[in-house]
Amino acid sequence: MGYNTSTQKLVFHGRYMDDVCKGIGLAIHDEYPLRSKWDPILTKTLKQELPLIHFLETIKFNSFKNIPPQPFFRFDDMGRGYILGILFNLLQGVSPYLIFWLGLLFFIMIFFWISLEYFLCDLWVYNYVLCFTFGFSSYLYSILSLTYSASGFYILSFLSLLPICIYTVFNRNKTIIGCFIRITITSIILSICLICRSSSIAAYIGVGIVILKLSKDMTTSVKVKNKLWILFLSFLILIMPYIILHQHINNKIMHTLSKYSSNPSLGNHHPFWHIIWTGLGDFDKKNHYAVNDHMAVDFAKSKGWTTEFSNAAEGIDKQYEHILKTSIINDILNDPFWYLGILRKRFFSTLFQLKLYPWKFRDGIFLKSEESNRSNAIDFYYMLIPRADNFGINPYMMELPIELFIFPTWIIILVSFFSVINKSFVNIFQQEFFILFVVGVSSMILPVCVTTVAGIETQGFFIFYYLGFSFFIGKLIIYKFLKTK
């Protein structure tokens, strides 16, 4: 398939070294984030080419204690390094490969919870089909290994919606205490995902929808005043873990930076308007936008930007961001239909996963390539890891037509739609449709509102089709072989 995930290639990836080194700084010096010349030591150790499965093998802290630490001023989703630092302390040493297993270990815990909820509802068939679908997805196990990006936490945020969704629609013995317990666990998982990948914030929309339904179901016999208190408490439980965790890490960062800087500042975590500007290049054919960082910089310079990016604590250059922001807002206000056209194309491209539509066995190609020079960089992101239509484990990997997953899912959607317009039509997928709706809305937000450029995360919407496939096949098995159930 042309994917290179050798250890040597992975360990030289910038994000890998950043996160591991920040974890070392926290474990040894109890400061965060620190950066030092630890890379050569790690690289020398990793040249042994130990299998990635040896993630519990550690390098003793003594190897790093004599190296003077330095502050690290780039703020890019600080949670990964922090979690590594905590785990390094637990292991009493630095595990160079642990970062590749973070996503997979979290996934195992989440799927155990999914399985528990399914079995409590006597829906073991759904669980087995979903286990089969997830287990053979090349895309899932690749993205969860966090090899090229931290998008695995973005995917985990959507998967963490499933247990509480299953409880909401399938469990017939719901209690207020049971609801609060599940909201609390979900909020803790989401807070971890959010500090590790900021795009995970989209999953909070899904939890909000679930909380509204839970509140409606659980308070039918409760006074209106109590209903509002239950709703308020539910949303408070949802956001508090992230607020506490985020504040704790920020306090640690400020404490560390104050030792190395007379004017410590958290700065900007992400170049927001730079992302929006380049993101518009996915479908813009009228204006100057392009999926190219250098073209964004050249555009800013043409508008009078004279400074350079800063590596200091103040973060991304404010003048640069202001120029891009002004350009985007002006273009939208001058031609709102242009922007609405881009949103429409993003919506349908994500909903039907149009770039994955070609099937090599049938069409001779496996990816719909971009024709425009301003957007052909998108293809690169689809080639980083196995795509969502790839199943099996390398080298025994095969591409399946996406219709295999899209058709069953849309049967569920159409059955649910006809049941709304025709009350006499029995909707056998009512509960399943709610889960699809929650996951679908959450995973649609990023590619539609920001960009479809990030092919790895855009394919995150395929979780929607994995679920639809598992529901459809599971229902067939139940009706065909387990009618008594």
Q: Comparing 213-222, 289-298, 450-459, which segment has the lowest mean pLDDT?
A: 213-222
Asked if 213 and 161 count as a contact pair (C-beta separation under 8 A), the reply is no
Q: What is the average pLDDT across 72-77?
A: 68
Residue with more model confidence, 452 or 315? 452
The residue among 12 and 348 whose pLDDT is bigger is: 348
Integer Cα distance of 465 and 454 in angstroms: 19
Is residue 289 located within the same domain as residue 404? Answer: no
Query: Among positive and negative, which fits the CA dihedral 426, 432, 434, 439?
Result: negative
Mean pLDDT of the chain: 86
pLDDT band for position 379 (50/70/90)? confident
Residues 103-113 pLDDT 10s: 999 999 999 99
End-to-end CA distance of the chain: 43
DSSP line for 446-472:
HHHHT-S--HHHHGGGHHHHHHHHHHH
Distances (CA, A) of 241 to 39, 209, 386: 33, 19, 33
| Helix (H) or strand (E) segment spanning residue 377 | helix 377-382
Average pLDDT over residues 380-394: 89
pLDDT mean over 409-429: 89
Is the model's pLDDT at 115 over the cut of 50?
A: yes
Same domain? For 232 and 302 the reply is no
Q: Shortest CA distance to 78 belongs to which of 156, 36, 19?
A: 19
Q: Give the separation between CA 372 and CA 353, rounded to whole angstroms.
A: 19
Question: Do 387 and 238 fall into the same domain?
Answer: yes
Give the contacts of 393 (CB within 8 A, at least 6 positions apart): 136, 138, 141
Residue 43: inside a domain, yes or no? yes
Distance CA 208, CA 77 (A): 23
Question: Do residues 65 and 147 share a domain?
Answer: no
Q: Any idea which of 73-82, 176-185, 387-396 has the lowest mean pLDDT?
A: 73-82
pLDDT at 149: 73
> Do 126 and 208 belong together in one domain?
yes
**Which of 140 and 75 is assigned the larger pLDDT?**
140
Whether 1 maps to a domain, the answer reads no
pLDDT above 90 (res 185): yes
For 10, 63, 375, 435, the CA distances from 207, given in Å and listed in that order, are: 34, 44, 33, 11
- Give the per-residue pLDDT at 312: 36
pLDDT in tens, 314-333: 446 788 889 999 999 999 99
Are residues 106 and 186 located together in one domain of the fold? Answer: yes
In a domain, 156, yes or no: yes
Share of the chain above pLDDT 70, in %: 85
Query: Which residue, chain included where needed, has tokens 């984030």?
Result: 33
Contact criterion met (CB below 8 Å) for 142 and 394: no
pLDDT for 220: 65
256 shares a domain with 138: yes
140-159 pLDDT tens trace: 988 998 766 789 999 999 99
Element (H, E) at 163: helix 161-170
Give the angle subtended at the CA of 106 by the CAs of 349 and 204, to the nearest 5°: 50
Cα–Cα nearest to 8, from 38, 51, 37: 51
Q: Choose the most confident range, by mean pLDDT, from 96-100, 284-288, 314-318, 470-474.
A: 470-474
pLDDT tier, 480 (very low <50, low <70, confident <90, very high otherwise): confident
Co-location of 253 and 398 in the same domain: yes
Last residue of a domain, which of 67, 97, 127?
Answer: 97
Asked whether residue 371 is assigned to any structural domain, the reply reads no
Residue 373: pLDDT over 80: no
Q: In this predicted model, what pLDDT tens digit does every residue of 204-229 receive, in sequence order?
A: 999 999 999 998 887 665 555 677 88
Quote the number of domains for the chain: 3
Structure tokens at 382: 């689809």
Q: Minimal CA–CA distance to 313: which of 260, 392, 356?
A: 260
Q: So what's the pLDDT on residue 314?
A: 41
pLDDT on residue 97: 81
Please check the confidence at residue 12 and state whether its pLDDT lies above 50: no
Using DSSP's 3-state secondary structure scheme, residue 186 falls into helix
Report pLDDT for 375.
Answer: 60
* pLDDT score at 381: 86
Q: Is the pLDDT of residue 259 over 70?
A: yes
Q: What percent of the chain has pLDDT over 90?
A: 54
- Among the three residues 351, 371, 391, which one is the final residue of a domain in this structure? 351
137 shares a domain with 76:
no
So what's the pLDDT on residue 369? 83
Do 216 and 118 belong together in one domain? yes
Is residue 48 predicted with pLDDT exceeding 60? no
Q: What are phi and psi of 97, to 5 degrees?
A: -100, 0
pLDDT tens for each residue of 230-244: 889 999 999 999 999
- 80, 97, 114: which is the final residue of a domain? 97
pTM of the model: 0.91
Same-domain status, 294 and 440: no
Taking residues 189-218, what's their average pLDDT?
Answer: 94
User: Given a cut of 80, is residue 91 above it in pLDDT?
Assistant: yes
The boundaries of the domain holding residue 423 are 101-262+382-481
Number of helices and strands (H, E) in the chain? 22, 4
Considering the domain architecture, whether residues 124 and 194 belong to the same structural domain is answered as yes
pLDDT of res. 125:
95
The rounded distance, in Å, linking the Cα atoms of 386 and 299 is 34
